[in-house]
Structure 1
Amino acid sequence: MLRPNLRPARLLLATLPLALLLGGCASFSPDGGLGPVNTLTQPHTGQALQRIQTDADQDRTAQRVSELLAQPLSADSAVQIALLNNRGLQASLAELGITEADVVQAGRLPNPGFSFGKQRTGDEREIERSVHLNLASLLLMPTVQQLENRRFAQAQAQTAQQVLQLASRTRKAYYEALAAKETTRYMGQVMQAAEASAELARRMAQVGNFNKLQQAREQSFYADAAQGLARAQRHEAATRERLIRLLGLWGDQTALQLPDRLPDLPPTARDLPDVERTAIAQRLDVQAARLATEQTARNLGLTQTTRFINVLELGLIRNSSNEAPTTRGWEVSLELPLFNWGGARVAKAEAIYMQSVHAAADTAIHARSEVREAYGNYRSAYDIARHQRDEVVPLRQRIAEENLLRYNGMLIGVFELLADARAQISGVVTYIDTLREFWLAQADLDMALIGPTNLSASTAPRAAAPEAAGAGH
């Protein structure tokens, strides 16, 4: 009876310290890789990210969201709710965990193989045992692990960029919802003035003091005001729902308590003379492009190093039989580069590297242009809103006061007074719109300084020109 010889196994185990020295010991981070992401995002959002993985995590999140919703919502609290409760963001954080698992797997030792064979020819019996290990994977493990670590860092930067984009979209949706709510309230006042004017015109027409043309003008303005109010109400509902989606709310949570008006215009606008340099230094997409280029360069070096070695295995062999002496030894197998010298593979890697270089340059060019446009929009929006607040609205107010004096002196009629009231309300609605554009422009600028953004366009409904309806009186 043959007794198994464990010497090959002992020889294989003797190589494991070398493998550990080459590859290190990979393990999962305690926070699922969120540490670097929080480092990049928390200074801009004021909120640390948390993954929802257990029922306890979900309960804590729901409790915090309820606390924030129990009071009138601010822009900062809306961002906090979105970063806590948005399920799309939680899916991205889970994807980060998947990438980290790949990194850990790249740092794990390759499993050895064992084969056992038994042959018998007549009275002769032969037993073959072998233990083998993929030496190429073992030797290249540190390099592969470095590449995976860089890929993980790139994934963390991309996740941080998604977090900042979500925060920016939430702020913009918040300001859109507030502006729509405030506009609806003032459009309701326009509607009330138009309704009073139309009713007065109807009664005066009945007693013969108003001709049909004058009555038709008032009725037409009343119809336009009703349609404008309906559109404002529809826009308010749509902006509110967009905000609710970003916050991840449902059920009773959708009963948001929004303030009645937008925040006031700041006393002064921000002055950023080095806005391009600041953006290039801290934008996450530029950093990610640089990291991708570095990783591609290292991949190119790896391709050139291993162009002649596709399969390299180390094995320990022990053959024994009951008739022949035991055979011991080892063997190394490798692919001979007779037909494929790896030139095409190297050329492809070089082309990929140049592609990455040009992509990084393109990212930097777009970053500079975006931040210039965002800063220009910000300063322009501030100047327009300030002009509307300091010049147009006070001028409309003075005109209204003068017309009220003339009405009290019976120098003008009630229709002229109502038309002037509608014009004054229209000026306030226009100021609300310019103030909304300023806050959206500021959110775009804040995002453009740290990552790519979709610059806002003016889409809110504007009030009709009610002063034109009363021009004929």
Structure 2
Amino acid sequence: MNKHKLLLAALPLFASLAQAQQPPESAWQQANRRVAEFSRGHADVLKWEQAHLAASAPAAAKPASLVLNTLADGVQLAWRAYPELAKPLAQLGREEVALLASGQWQALSAARLRQVDDADELIELAHATRKMLLAAIVVEQALPYQQQASQAAEAAAELGARMAQTGNWSKLQAAQRQLLQLGAQQQWQRSQYAAVLSRANVLKALQQWARSTPQTLQLPPALPALPAAPLDEQAVQHRLAQVGATLAGSEQIAMRANAALAYRAYATAYALASSQQDMLKLRQFIYDETVLRYNGMLLNSWELLDEARALAEANVNAIGAVRDFWLAEADLQLVLLGGQPESFVNLAAGSGDSPAAAGH
């Protein structure tokens, strides 16, 4: 079944709201019955169809999967890819290794780390791997919402084209909807490629790419949630004093310079992610109210589809803001161990930049 078959069956209902010519009575009743099966009206039709089609599709044979349930799983696997790191891992000890892998770096003793051979190699690889995995997870998590945005734009373009064919819309109006649809389609295509590329980058970095048996990658389903509150600046300064005591004079100066920028990026990213969550709640409220008014025939179909697309985009932006926070958090944690990030997170609105893949 074509993914828009039910949608197009209900198009006469939509067109009537825009003062289009009504179809014969039997077709009108059929469209109404199909839409009435869904509790939230026409907005649920595509979701229902996707779920039922997915359930009825025959299961295809899948290649072996590399399952990473947590970021720590990825870090551990990255370390194991380099046999020369076995010695510093053994020197560090199981408890400290677990803290380092899970990103709980403030619980580590800086003085103890200085006694471990090649500890900097362990830290740098853990930092790079965490950032790479965060970037890969966010691509996967945002995919369903980007698909929803594309589908909403496509449905609006289909409806606009039919309205233009029957003379109820101008070609200009139809072209404007088609332009939006093409832009959303391009973004969806970019997102699908980004997901493939990010998975490949992770497999390559973990040395799981060139294998005789094809390997797929299963990442954690979502980014970690924002903490209830960001790290206090006073706590950061206290940690800097502890770590600074283990460094030479020039290294202390570099650490404090990096720490000022790292904490600014961290605090700003937290504030932006928090406000983006508030924006998402407002978008959800607006969408829910639009559905109610649409089902009450107080709003037209384009307003509903526009709000569906806006809600999907708000979800993508919220996920991206959480990613930026955790990238900034990883940089701050590295600085608080005396390390120096190659670059800091870009907090520009709509930025889709991802950090480089982990290297060694």
Q: TM-score, normalised by structure 1?
A: 0.51
1:341 corresponds to: none
Distance 2:262 2:185 in 1: 36
Change (3 A) 1:158 1:372: farther
2:74 corresponds to: 78
Change (3 A) 1:277 1:182: same
How far is the alpha carbon of 1:263 from its aligned partner? 1.9
For residues 279-317 of structure 1, the C-alpha deviation after alignment (integer angstroms, 9 at most, x for no partner) is: 35326xx84x63xxxxxxxxxxxxxxxxxxxxxxxxxxx
For residues 214-245 of structure 1, the C-alpha deviation after alignment (integer angstroms, 9 at most, x for no partner) is: 10111001110111112222322333233223
Change (3 A) 1:277 1:264: closer
1:271 corresponds to: 232
Match of 2:217, SS state, is coil
Q: Is the Cα contact below 8 Å between 2:266 and 2:332 reproduced in 1? A: yes
Change (3 A) 1:369 1:157: farther
Distance 1:387 1:207 in 2: 44
1:430 corresponds to: 317
What aligned pairs does 1:92-241 form with structure 2 within 5 A after superposition? 159-241=118-200
Q: Is the Cα contact below 8 Å between 2:80 and 2:86 reproduced in 1? A: no
| 2:302 equivalent to 1:415 | yes
Q: Is the Cα contact below 8 Å between 1:280 and 1:368 reproduced in 2? A: no
What aligned pairs does 1:453-468 form with structure 2 within 5 A after superposition? 453-458=341-346, 462=350
Q: Is the Cα contact below 8 Å between 1:73 and 1:256 reproduced in 2? A: no
Change (3 A) 1:253 1:380: farther
- In the alignment, structure 1 segments of 5+ residues that lack a partner are 1-68, 96-152, 291-359, 465-473
Q: Is the Cα contact below 8 Å between 2:273 and 2:318 reproduced in 1? A: yes
Distance 2:218 2:202 in 1: 12
1:383 corresponds to: 271
Change (3 A) 1:368 1:155: closer
2:262 corresponds to: 374
- In the alignment, structure 2 segments of 5+ residues that lack a partner are 1-64, 89-111, 353-360
Identity among equivalent pairs (%): 34
Distance 2:351 2:118 in 1: 41
Match of 2:118, SS state, is helix
Amino acid at match of 1:233: Q
2:217 corresponds to: 256
Amino acid at match of 1:231: R
Match of 1:255, SS state, is strand
Q: Is the Cα contact below 8 Å between 1:430 and 1:463 reproduced in 2? A: no
Distance 1:423 1:214 in 2: 19
Let me know the Cα RMSD of the aligned residues.
3.0
Distance 2:321 2:117 in 1: 33
How far is the alpha carbon of 1:410 from its aligned partner? 1.9
Change (3 A) 1:432 1:219: same
Which one scores higher on RCO, CA 8 angstroms, separation ≥ 6? 2
How far is the alpha carbon of 1:161 from its aligned partner? 0.8
How far is the alpha carbon of 1:409 from its aligned partner? 2.4
For residues 60-113 of structure 1, the C-alpha deviation after alignment (integer angstroms, 9 at most, x for no partner) is: xxxxxxxxx76443101111111112x3xx457799xxxxxxxxxxxxxxxxxx
